[in-house]
Amino acid sequence: MKKSLFVAAIAAISLVACKKGETTSTEASKDSVAATADSATAAIDSTANATVDSVKANASAAKDSVKADAKVAKEEIKAEEKKADAAKK
């Protein structure tokens, strides 16, 4: 997101810096704007994809942690049941 803002700022500065008396091609300006828009879109897509990947990785890690905790809890319950059975005998 920061990159796209930076690219847009540079494009704006370059457009303002052009002399008004100097003739410029409107087609070149359109190409520049289109390139800036494409760059901004690519940066946003990249950021979105990185965020999705990060969320998926964190969710997967949390799921694995919960499974491990559940397994430990089940083992503790079985151990308590064995102790209770042994105490009854």
**pLDDT tens across 50-59, in order?**
787 888 888 8
**pTM of the predicted model, to two decimals?**
0.39
Choice among 32-36, 44-48, 58-62, 72-76 with the minimum mean pLDDT: 32-36
| Helix pair 26-88, 2-17: axis angle to 10 deg | 170
Q: Can you give the pLDDT at residue 44?
A: 74
CB 36 within 8 Å of CB 1 = no
Q: Which two tokens stand for residue 70?
A: 């559940």
